[in-house]
Amino acid sequence: MVPAGALLTTENIDLGNLPLPWLGVDSSAANSAVLGRLRQSTGAELETVHQYQETLTALALVAAGEGVAIVPTWR
């Protein structure tokens, strides 16, 4: 997730060069593995400035413009 207005396009986004830092998660969280794979596949240093444990916290931080996050989806 990224804050509203942070991206100018929705096509082929370079996740390693987003204009905001990544929000980190506890190493035991499922999202941690996803973030690790993302780091590996992009070869980018994804700086994290905040760490969250709850998805709602991540959503609040993204909404406040503090960074971007990998969050689960609900269907």
> d(Cα 16, Cα 42) in Å, to the nearest integer?
6
Domain residue ranges in the chain: 21-63
DSSP label of 54: S
Q: What is the pLDDT of residue 52?
A: 87
pLDDT value at position 60? 92
More confident position, 7 or 51: 51
pTM greater than the 0.85 cutoff: no
What is the pLDDT, as a whole number, of residue 2? Answer: 65
Burial level of 19, CB count in 10 A (0-12/13-18/19+)?
exposed
**What is the rounded average pLDDT for all residues in the chain?**
78
* Mean pLDDT to the nearest integer, 23-47: 80
Greater confidence, 68 or 42?
68
